[in-house]
């Protein structure tokens, strides 16, 4: 019998394939005494051989997808597996102590790792201790017959089932074979959900029990449109969802025809539909989806995909690439938004009780000014190659914006004094993602050049509900009138001062929210590249004058998120 697992629809599309559990197995074991030591020695030798085969395959695959240097780590693993000293110590321990292979492996490798770790004057050897532990874990997994997951080795279509996915796990997935993600944790705006949309991989997150229910190789239908999965589907379900997947693909093909058209409502009003990107590579998906701008470049991914702070030149190259690829269309680059759920291994941040409310984004930039100034210099130098706009994240007070602007102005002047070409029309804007900033939008609008409403954070702070926590995901309420009123006021405040209002949170691509935002006059909608054509198609069918008539009823009479949704679904053809 098939089983249904419900969760949160996090990335559009339907995938059907066998499950691949990206879950670390439980490798606990008991120490036993044995009579047949030869049998234990044979077992350990087999496990060593199987581990070598694994590592060799991972090594080859890493070399192809990541490069020679990244593959070198696996050479170290292969050398450990073949180390005659270690192998003979394990077999001797089995013979002398008459213990099982698992215990002998543990005792010997633990000893090796401890010896290496003690070499305080040799950091290279100390690091090898981690390799020994990794290798030992792999051999143990073979002894216990509980294989470790190897995402790099996926070579057939799969639905990846995981307890949690970090952004870096998600980034390593091969789009060709990964047909969907089914994840226990996470909300619609957690960063792994956002990455899965960028990669165009259907995803269901916050499923709570997927890893308890789904076994390796179970057939799974993953419905990222409606937020559920069916495990071991029957023939009828297989046919139904294969047809729906096909229908979705046809719809996508229709949308693709709008690639080179502007985003215009049925009554002729133009809006800008833009792309959110995380790396310069994403710009290809943005341009091929017909993005009219880059509305948000989350630059922190440049920092996260590096082993050290990216240099000014490396950043300059990345920003220049995006500006050139957009051929004079606007590119909004947000300064680094580290902290919260985004960490840099080389920039340890203090442990905090509430990282989302802590030391992050502009707060770090204003504190660690050398990092901020390097980024601003790279941006200023790149400004020459396109239409750059700079945006500051997590602005809570006017003072923060003024300080950031002051530092920007100083760096600009220094570059001009050196004779470096810098554009003189760089607009400076802020993310509106903190309720205090939304409440004070009329004053901010006098000083900034543009707003971009970051609803992912604005909703989490307004409803005091962690965006990554599926237990409180019911409080992700983009249609709640309390939030809609706030957004409406922010847009009006911008317009009153002749400034533009954009939105770059996930709500900008939400089919129920889009008609409301059009009625409020939101100028720019920035979203995952995969949503652009769907939204453009939706806008084409909507009449702004009609939507404006509906707005007062929504803002004044509706009381709940559900009421607004229902009213929009009834009155608007979405």
CA 357 – CA 315 distance, rounded (Å): 27
Task: Number of residues interacting with ligand PEP: please give it, by CB under 6 A.
Answer: 10
Please say if 270 is a catalytic residue: no
Residue 523: which of ligand PEP, Mg ion, none does it interact with, CB under 5 to 8 A by kind?
none
Q: How far is CA 289 from CA 173, 273, 334, 524, in A?
A: 22, 10, 21, 16
Is 128 a residue that touches ligand PEP (CB under 6 A)?
no
510 touches 478 (CB < 8 A): yes
Q: In angstroms, give the least distance from the CB of 457 to Mg ion.
A: 4
CA dihedral 496, 482, 527, 562 (to 10 degrees): -140
Is 300 a residue that touches Mg ion (CB under 5 A)?
no
Q: What are phi and psi of 8, to 5 degrees?
A: -110, 130
CA 350 – CA 360 distance, rounded (Å): 11
Residue among 54, 102, 292, 337 that touches ligand PEP (CB under 6 A): 337
CA 54 – CA 150 distance, rounded (Å): 9
Q: Which is nearer to Mg ion, 47 or 522 (CB)?
A: 522
Q: Which is nearer to ligand PEP, 109 or 335 (CB)?
A: 335
Q: Is 126 helix (H, G, I), strand (E, B) or coil?
A: helix
Strand partners, 5: 229
Residue 142: which of ligand PEP, Mg ion, none does it interact with, CB under 5 to 8 A by kind?
none
233-242 CB contacts, 8 Å cutoff, 24+ apart: 233/2, 234/1, 234/2, 237/2, 238/16, 241/14, 241/16, 242/16
Please say if 247 is a catalytic residue: no
Is 454 a residue that touches Mg ion (CB under 5 A)?
yes
Out of 39, 77, 142, 191, the active site residue is 191
Residue among 282, 457, 506, 524 that touches Mg ion (CB under 5 A): 457
Restricting to residues 456-475, name those near ligand PEP by CB under 6 A.
456-457
Q: In angstroms, give the least distance from the CB of 548 to ligand PEP.
A: 25
Q: In angstroms, give the least distance from the CB of 347 to Mg ion.
A: 19
Sign of CA dihedral 457, 459, 460, 463: positive
Taking CB positions, which residue lies at the least distance from Mg ion?
457
Q: Which is nearer to ligand PEP, 101 or 205 (CB)?
A: 205
Restricting to residues 399-458, name those near ligand PEP by CB under 6 A.
433, 454-457
Restricting to residues 488-527, name those near ligand PEP by CB under 6 A.
504-505
Q: How far is CA 56 from CA 128, 135, 172, in A?
A: 18, 12, 18
Q: In angstroms, give the least distance from the CB of 368 to ligand PEP.
A: 19
Active-site residue list: 191, 504
List interacting residues with ligand PEP (CB under 6 A). Answer: 296, 298, 337, 433, 454-457, 504-505
List interacting residues with Mg ion (CB under 5 A). Answer: 433, 454, 457
């Amino acid at each position: 019998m098939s089983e249904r697992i419900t969760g949160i629809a996090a990335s559009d599309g339907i995938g059907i394939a066998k499950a691949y559990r990206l879950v670390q197995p439980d490798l606990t074991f008991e120490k036993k005494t044995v009579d047949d030591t030869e049998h234990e020695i044979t077992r350990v030798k087999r496990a060593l051989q199987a581990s070598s085969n694994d590592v060799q395959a991972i090594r080859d695959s890493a070399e192809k997808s990541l490069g020679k240097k990244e593959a070198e780590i696996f050479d170290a693993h292969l050398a450990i597996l073949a180390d005659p000293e270690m192998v003979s110590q394990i077999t001797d321990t089995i013979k002398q102590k008459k213990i099982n292979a698992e215990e002998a492996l543990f005792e010997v490798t633990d000893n090796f790792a401890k010896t290496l770790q003690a070499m305080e004057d040799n950091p290279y050897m100390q690091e090898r201790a981690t390799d020994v532990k990794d290798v030992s874990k792999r051999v143990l997994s073979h002894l216990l017959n509980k294989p470790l997951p190897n995402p790099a080795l996926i070579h057939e279509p799969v639905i990846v089932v995981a307890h949690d996915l970090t952004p870096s796990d998600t980034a390593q997935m091969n789009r060709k074979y990964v047909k969907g993600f089914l994840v226990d944790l996470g909300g619609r705006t957690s960063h792994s959900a956002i990455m899965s949309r960028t990669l165009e991989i259907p995803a269901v997150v916050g499923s709570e029990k997927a890893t308890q229910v789904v076994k390796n190789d179970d057939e799974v239908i993953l419905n990222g449109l409606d937020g559920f999965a069916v495990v071991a589907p029957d023939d009828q379900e297989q046919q139904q969802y294969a047809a729906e997947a096909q229908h979705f693909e046809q719809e996508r093909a229709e949308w693709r025809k709008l690639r080179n058209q502007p985003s215009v409502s049925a009554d002729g009003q133009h809006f800008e539909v833009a792309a959110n990107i995380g790396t310069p590579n994403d710009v290809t998906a943005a341009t091929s989806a017909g993005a009219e701008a880059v509305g948000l470049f989350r630059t922190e991914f440049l920092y996260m995909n590096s082993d050290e702070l990216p240099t000014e030149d490396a950043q300059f190259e990345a920003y220049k690439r995006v500006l050139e690829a957009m051929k004079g269309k606007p590119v909004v680059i947000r300064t680094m938004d580290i902290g919260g759920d985004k960490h840099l291994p080389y920039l340890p941040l203090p442990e905090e009780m509430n990282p989302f409310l802590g030391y992050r984004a502009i707060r770090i930039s204003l504190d660690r000014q050398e990092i901020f100034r390097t980024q601003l210099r790279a941006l200023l130098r790149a400004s020459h190659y396109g239409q750059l706009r700079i945006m500051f994240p997590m602005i809570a007070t006017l003072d923060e914006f003024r300080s950031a602007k002051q530092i920007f102005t100083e760096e600009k002047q220094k570059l001009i004094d050196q004779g470096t070409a810098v554009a003189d029309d760089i607009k400076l804007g802020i993310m509106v993602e903190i309720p205090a900033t939304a409440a004070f939008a009329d004053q901010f609008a006098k000083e900034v050049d543009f707003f971009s409403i970051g609803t992912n954070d604005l909703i989490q702070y307004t409803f005091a509900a962690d965006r990554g926590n599926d237990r409180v995901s019911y409080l992700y309420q983009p249609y709640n009138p309390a939030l809609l009123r706030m957004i409406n006021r922010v847009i009006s405040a911008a317009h009153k001062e002749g400034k533009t209002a954009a939105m770059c949170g996930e709500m900008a691509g939400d089919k129920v929210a889009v008609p409301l935002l059009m009625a409020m006059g939101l100028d720019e909608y920035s979203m995952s590249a995969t949503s652009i054509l769907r939204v453009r198609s939706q806008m084409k069918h909507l009449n702004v004058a009609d939507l404006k008539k509906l707005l007062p009823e929504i803002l004044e009479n509706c009381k709940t998120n559900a009421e607004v949704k229902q009213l929009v679904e009834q009155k608007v053809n979405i």
